Structure 1
């Protein structure tokens, strides 16, 4: 997705996992702990999330690595209702200004019924996540994509 926000703005928003409950409606709580920065400047933390959707409530924990220099934020499963979970954001600067943002999510729920439902709605879920981030970026940075984002 092409956005009019700087790579730094996009990275700051995506790596601000403590704020996710403020703008992603199905994340009802997030606790961030163990935050530290390694020798190469990569920020590592643990995110413990509570997710609620149509009466379905789950808790899960991820290890998050936020690498500003590489423009990546990666969340990997520690524990929760998944067999596997890895979400990776990639933020790349554009020569004309703004940034390109990509989100890849690879997951599988342990519960077979939920896994089937989730697989059928994967693209919708990714699109809703991207929309939530774009809406929050508009709120935080007061830029309208249609006015300044090249297509």
Structure 2
């Protein structure tokens, strides 16, 4: 069963600033409480492979995505490995003048079996549902 999450927000910051924030995967553990580790495995201007660990209590999992980057505009994530049958997401960053933007996240995923759904599901669902809010708060911290 596929879970689909769509979230968006309007922010008083340039789209490029938010793109840079979301694309700075290595800093996720600094402000995402469920993120135990984040590592960039490969990076070019158009692509990134990243590993992200999620943890809460005694439960931890990690997954690897291959991200297609359109600097300042979008980040498309596709699962390479992890506890999902599939995971696909797209962040979009739309300029609304020089000092504002709309960010959107469209994310769909399907857990690799009922045991993974039962154990990882509550943590990952909460994390996915709060991602846009977390990046909004981080933008406020970083850009005032």
Would you call these one fold, judging by a TM-score over 0.5? yes
Separation in 2, partners of 1:18, 1:124 = 21
When residues 123 and 59 of structure 1 are mapped into structure 2, their CA distance, relative to the original with a 3 A threshold, is closer
Partner of 1:24: 32
The alignment's TM-score, normalised by the length of structure 1, stands at: 0.79
Partner of 1:67: 70
Name the one with the larger strand percent.
2
Is contact 2:12–2:101 with CA below 8 Å preserved after alignment?
yes
1:54-93 pair list within 5 angstroms: 54-68=57-71, 71-93=73-95
Separation in 2, partners of 1:137, 1:100 = 13
Structure 1 portions without partners, runs of 5+: 38-42, 143-151
When residues 14 and 33 of structure 1 are mapped into structure 2, their CA distance, relative to the original with a 3 A threshold, is same
> Would you say how many aligned residue pairs link Structure 1 and Structure 2?
136
Separation in 2, partners of 1:46, 1:93 = 26
TM-superposed CA distance for 1:67, in Å, is: 0.7
TM-superposed CA distance for 1:55, in Å, is: 2.4
Tell me whether 1:4 sits opposite 2:8 in the alignment: no
TM-superposed CA distance for 1:97, in Å, is: 3.9
Quick one: which of 110, 113, 121 aligns to 2:112?
A: 110
Quick one: which of 51, 54, 61 aligns to 1:48?
A: 51
Partner of 1:149: none
Q: Deviations over 1:30-59 (max 9, x none)?
A: 11122123xxxxx31110111102322001
When residues 98 and 31 of structure 1 are mapped into structure 2, their CA distance, relative to the original with a 3 A threshold, is same
Q: Deviations over 1:57-107 (max 9, x none)?
A: 0011111122125x1011110001000001210110114840011101100
The alignment's TM-score, normalised by the length of structure 2, stands at: 0.83
Is contact 1:103–1:126 with CA below 8 Å preserved after alignment?
no
Separation in 1, partners of 2:38, 2:98 = 35
Structure of larger gyration radius: 1
- Structure of greater relative contact order (alpha carbons < 8 Å, 6+ residues apart): 2
Q: CA RMSD in A?
A: 2.3
